[in-house]
Amino acid sequence: MSDVSTQNIEKPIIVSDRNFDQTLKTYPVVVVDCWATWCAPCRAIAPIVDQLAKEYSGKVVFGKLNVDENPETTQRFGIMAIPTLLVMKDAKEVDRIVGALPKSQLEAKLKDLI
């Protein structure tokens, strides 16, 4: 089986309790956007996450985890406020961004990883 390429992933993938660990094993750098449909700040950063997914395609895979539908992962990572972006490298949390930050601040944190 060949290595899974991140080249073609230009939009966030859906991450769930069921596929969370496999997603982290599959891709070296994953940013998981923990969100909910009722969360206005989550909706505010969604287009930014979409842009970053396209711009960093091949380097970073972005995922979206609905906290209401995935309580196991939400509890496991102690998500207390949303939006929370979990920055995962080699299946380990290396950073956590809480709140709706501007694109420039999100990009600055990503550049440290790649």
**Catalytic residue positions, numbered:** 39, 42
Please state whether the peptide bond connecting residue 41 to the residue before it is cis, i.e. omega within 30 degrees of 0.
Answer: no
Contact status, residue 31 vs residue 86, Cβ threshold 8 Å = yes
Pairing of strands 61-66, 13-14: parallel
Residue 38, SS3 per DSSP = coil
Other C-beta atoms within 10 Å of 100: how many? Answer: 18
